[in-house]
Amino acid sequence: MRTTGRYFALTILPMHIDNSRVYNPYIHLQRSKSQRQREPIMKNTILISLSLVAALLSGCATTTAPGVSGVERKQFMMLSEAQVVSMSKESYLATLQEASKKKTLNTNAAQVKRVRDISRKLIRQTSHFRKDALNWQWEVNVEQNDQVNAYCMPGGKIMVYTGLIDKLKATDDELAAVIGHEIAHALREHGRERMSIAYAQQAGLLGLAVLAGSSKNQNAAAIGVQAAALGSTLFFALPNSREQEREADRIGLELSARAGYNPNAAVSLWQKMGQQGGSAPPEFLSTHPSNQNRINELKGMIPAVMPLYQNAGK
């Protein structure tokens, strides 16, 4: 190419042109009306998504020391710890009151003592992950319920169902694995994290719904909202929840080992869980890792925490 004054003299060489990649104003004008109407909605959806990402980046922190388990992921916390603990107390109190009315709360004194003894040993080890945990208002109770389940709400509110003890015939080591796992959720403030994410999602989808409501094409608007909701569920909430479960497995294993409970019990526990039957959803759509994946990961971590178990109480 050579220049002559302000103009260019071009030598045009033969070349293949892919018309599908060339912008054609005529083709652009011929697009369907619905396609053109969807564009502003998609642009606004992107803007809302970017706003949520900015909020995520500004609210990230980690809640626990890494310990041997090495958990140090940054977490999104939109809600304050005080807010979530207050809600947890109210919910836990309501659960206790309901169980008391049904006469299903702490009905077996031996079971209650056993669960509380195990829990106390685990709670004493929580300072390895966060110093303030020893000052939480811990509560430990047992509910007569056939479900194979247990939980620890934010702030240290523990409940163990008798189905977990009776159906699994759980040993002390196995009970420690479950309770340690649930305490780990509280230490990492996974409840607060999930609530914060839910609030962020709600705010984003509410903004999208407002934009959709003002759209002249309600079908296109509905498609935009539904797509955002599905994407937010599959790629935002659920992967984080699976990661939370993995974190609780790792911290829980370390807690139980430090408290003097055999970490190998976590493997036998999940083997028993797998024998309970019922169809498990594919891991991609599950909030929990599959049993076999979970067992493999636990087995991989046991050598790191075994010295803690061997030295416990020495």
Reply yes or no on whether the pLDDT at 125 is more than 70.
yes
Catalytic annotation, residues: 182
- pLDDT digit string, tens, across residues 251-306: 999 999 999 999 999 999 988 888 876 655 554 445 566 778 888 999 999 999 99
Q: Is the pLDDT of residue 62 over 70?
A: yes
Give the best-scoring range by mean pLDDT among 62-76, 167-181, 207-221. Answer: 167-181
**The pLDDT of residue 241:** 74
- Asked if 142 and 162 touch (Cβ cutoff 8 Å), the reply is yes
Beta-strand relationship, 139-143 and 157-161:
parallel
Maximum average pLDDT range among 1-15, 41-55, 269-283: 269-283
Provide the token pair at 192. Answer: 């607060």
Instruction: Please report which confidence band the pLDDT of residue 63 belongs to, taking 50, 70 and 90 as the band edges.
Output: confident
- Distance between CA atoms of residues 98 and 24, nearest Å: 68
Is the pLDDT at 32 greater than 60, yes or no? no
* 73-91 average pLDDT score: 80
* Better pLDDT: 81 or 209: 81
pTM listed for this prediction:
0.69
b/e sequence 155-169, b meaning 16+ C-beta within 10 Å? bbbbbbbbbbbeebe
Higher pLDDT, 50 or 151: 151
pLDDT for res 228: 46
Residue 42's pLDDT is 52
What was the pLDDT predicted at 112? Answer: 98
Q: How large is the average pLDDT for residues 127-153?
A: 93
Work out the percent of the chain whose per-residue pLDDT is above 90: 41
Strand-pairing partners, residue 153, are 157
